[in-house]
Amino acid sequence: MQVSNTNNVKVYNLSSGKSLPAWLSDRKKRALQNADSDLKNRIELIQDFEMPIVSNCVRVSEDGQHILAAGIYKPRVRCYDLSQLSMKFERGLDAEVVKLRILSEDYSKVVFMQCDRYVEFHTRFGVHHRLRIPRVGRDLAYHDPSCDLFFVGTSPEIYRFNLEQGRFLKPFTTKAIAMNCCDMNPAHHLLAAGTAEGKVICWDPRTRDQVGELDCALSSVNGQTEILRVPSVTAFKFKDALHFAVGTSTGQILLYDIRSDKPILVKDHRNQLPIKSIHYKADMDLVLSADKKGLKMWNEKTGKPFVTIEPDADINDVCVVPNSGLVLMANEAPKMSIYFTPSLGPAPKWCSFLDNLTEELEENPQSEVYDDYKFVTKSELDGLGLGHLIGSSLLRAYMHGYFMDIRLYHKAKSIADPFAYDNYKKNLIQKKIEEARSNRVKKLKKLPKVNAALALKLQDEGEAKKTAKVKDKKTADGILQDSRFSALFENPDFQVDEESEEYRLAKPLISKQQKRRDKEITASAQTRDEDEVEEMEGRASSDEDSSSDDDKEWLEEMREQRKKIKQERRVKELRRQMDEMTKMYEVDQGEEKKDDHKKTNKLARKSFGERISLSVGRPATGKSAAAVNESTFHLGADEKVQRQIEKDRLHHQERKKLRRSAGSLSKKKYRP
């Protein structure tokens, strides 16, 4: 939503912002809305209030519950239900719609005038009847008491079609070459038609006679208007029984009293463009006149401008919602424009939330940022020698100063202060010298015995802040000198164990916070340098926010640490089991060795002859001679652990081949 404040009148553009393609799925639309801030903050007052290419005309039903709009391509008409703020139905047509008229209070009876001379009558169920008029039509009007429908176009005749009898009646014949517009007075049912010669012809449907003719061509030409062509009447609108407005092809609006042939007021758009539409705002004495470039609102008594709305696309038709400040526009763009002006009136009942929304915006005004402009005060202008530009289009008055183009500012600055570049060069050289000094051999710092790495880190951070001239009360020197934190660097119980699992899991987050602190210190240093030296480029610089990338990095590091810790726990458990098995085996072997040692000692006390006699008479044990020299080796714990790890690795590879990958699934949560 865009807000413009022209002539102290706020106008809210409710159709501004990006639009999503119709072929996208609901899931992709939600994803785009979450990713794009412009789509997330937009206000879609009426859903799908647009046409494929161009919208030709738009109307609001008499009961104020439906909107009918016609456009191309392909030719179609869309009906919007305002109670649901969405499209009710869409119908395809054979040709482009020139004008449409709603004959009932709701959407149940509508007539469409098409560019191929056909006129279609539609009801709730669809097309009711289709007829063809003799000439190409440009406008139509409906006479309710007699059920007569009048068509004007490229002929001198006004064709009549009676809806009750279902047949054409005798047309009204005029002397005009062609007629561009017509309107029916709701008070006394006088039919008025504007001709290509700049005349207004009035007919009485009761007597079927011409009752008046008004020449508006000469009245629309004054001394300041160049006569390039005869102005024709392109728009006509009755206000009440006595007053009406005429719009010409040269961009003038003439206000008349039916009792006089002289205009009460002549308003010029000053762009030589034909007037497309005219509307009255009777309760405020305002006239709303539109050409293809903009809609102008002005006072009908004095001609003083009230506000001007200039959309991005050319205007084809304008519809003012009754008793409200909402204006609908059909234009040369897919999206139809919706403008809300609180000064014209309140919001309609079906969108009453607009009043609360505009009140909140007025209570919390947002400051505008101009990247291509420089704000200067009057004293700065005088110092630059540009004081004579006050009042010209090069300066935009704002608060206590002016906005001017940044390129003009730099040119004037270089002329007024030719030594600005020399000062910038000196500051740049000084900065390089300071960077070179930082590479010199530094004096050894006195560090405590406990948490020496933490103390060194705090000292380096404090020096960086001093270099960047960051005003921070919670400096590292204050932590080292504060008696409350002395035990942190004196008591061994507070020693940080970098090999512990808790520290390893928290290390990625600590490193992320350290990177953020370094960025803040660097940004503050850059800000200080920019304050000393003017920004040499013509556009404001902006730092990119990479917080999302940092989050991904430290989350990945934390996952890796968790994997490593789990693997180490598994290795430790396997080693513990192997150690227990080894100890049990050694205990069993130790008992056997004690028995053999006792037997050996007894045998050593005996003589050699006794030993031979004992060996000759010893019973066979079942072991061969080769078994006496047999050696047995037991695998160490480390080798078995490696075998177990290799076995687990092969098992995981086999599982990866069998399992189904889930990498294609999105990480975002589903939002209905």
- Residue ranges for the chain with pLDDT beneath 70: 1, 17-26, 28-30, 32-42, 220-229, 360-372, 418-421, 438-447, 449, 451, 460-481, 509-554, 583-609, 611-638, 660-672
> What is the per-residue pLDDT across 174-231, written as a single tens digit (0 to 9) for each?
888 999 999 999 888 899 999 998 899 999 988 888 888 988 887 766 544 445 568 8
SS3 (DSSP) at 581: helix
The CB density around residue 243, as the number of other CB atoms within 10 Å, is 17
Q: HSE-up of 663 (CA within 13 Å, CB side)?
A: 3
In this prediction, residue 33 carries a pLDDT of: 62
> What is the per-residue pLDDT across 81-129, written as a single tens digit (0 to 9) for each?
998 888 999 999 999 999 999 999 989 999 999 999 999 999 998 899 9
- Quote the CA–CA distance of 260 and 254 in Å, as a whole number: 12
CA angle 590/594/596 to nearest 5° reads: 115
Residues paired with residue 396 on neighbouring β-strands, in sequence order: 403
Q: 265, 229 in Cβ contact below 8 A? A: no
- Quote the CA–CA distance of 277 and 288 in Å, as a whole number: 8
> Nearest CA to 94 among 124, 68, 127?
127
Backbone angles phi and psi of 332, in degrees to 5: -85, 55
Residues 6 or more apart whose CB falls under 8 angstroms from that of 398 comprise 375
Amino acid at 502: E
Residue 161 class from Cβ within 10 Å (0-12 exposed, 13-18 middle, 19+ buried)? buried
Q: 60, 350 in Cβ contact below 8 A? A: no
Q: Which residues of 568-586 are buried (b: 16+ CB within 10 A; e: fewer)?
A: eeeeeebeeebeeeeeeee
- Quote the CA–CA distance of 565 and 501 in Å, as a whole number: 7
Task: Copy the structure tokens of residue 34.
Answer: 């979450």
Task: Copy the structure tokens of residue 236.
Answer: 């006509």
Amino acid at 111: V
Q: Where are the domains of the chain?
A: 1-44+276-365, 373-416, 467-526+547-574
The CB density around residue 153, as the number of other CB atoms within 10 Å, is 22
Task: Copy the structure tokens of residue 320.
Answer: 């003012």
From edge to edge, which strands make up the β-sheet containing 191-195? 179-184, 191-195, 199-204, 209-215
Residues paired with residue 184 on neighbouring β-strands, in sequence order: 191
**What string of H, E and C letters represents the secondary structure of 370-423?**
CCCEEEEEHHHHHHHCCHHHCCCCCEEEECCEEEEEHHHHHHHHHHHCCCHHHH
Q: HSE-up of 622 (CA within 13 Å, CB side)?
A: 0
Residues 6 or more apart whose CB falls under 8 angstroms from that of 162 comprise 146, 147, 148, 149, 168, 169
In this prediction, residue 290 carries a pLDDT of: 92
The residue assigned the tokens 């390089």 is 432
How many residues are there in the chain? 672
- Quote the CA–CA distance of 315 and 328 in Å, as a whole number: 10
- Quote the CA–CA distance of 159 and 567 in Å, as a whole number: 92
- Output the DSSP codes for 270-297: SS-----EEEEEGGGTEEEEE-SS-EEE
SS3 content of the chain, % helix, strand, coil (to 5): 35, 25, 40
SS3 (DSSP) at 583: helix
Looking at residue 475, the DSSP 8-state letter turns out to be -
Residues 6 or more apart whose CB falls under 8 angstroms from that of 181 comprise 138, 139, 152, 193, 194, 233, 234, 235, 236
- β 286-290/191-195 pair status: unpaired
Q: 385, 414 in Cβ contact below 8 A? A: no
The residue assigned the tokens 């920004």 is 535
CA angle 547/550/555 to nearest 5° reads: 125
List C-alpha distances in Å: 208 to 69, 134, 176, 221, 414.
33, 20, 17, 32, 78
In this prediction, residue 592 carries a pLDDT of: 55
Task: Copy the structure tokens of residue 42.
Answer: 């937009």
E-assigned strands of 123-166? 127-132, 137-143, 148-153, 157-162
SS3 (DSSP) at 339: strand
In this prediction, residue 538 carries a pLDDT of: 44
Q: 194, 200 in Cβ contact below 8 A? A: yes
- Quote the CA–CA distance of 154 and 279 in Å, as a whole number: 25
Radius of gyration for the chain, computed over Cα atoms and rounded to the nearest angstrom: 45
Amino acid at 565: I
- Quote the CA–CA distance of 373 and 395 in Å, as a whole number: 10
- Quote the CA–CA distance of 636 and 574 in Å, as a whole number: 12
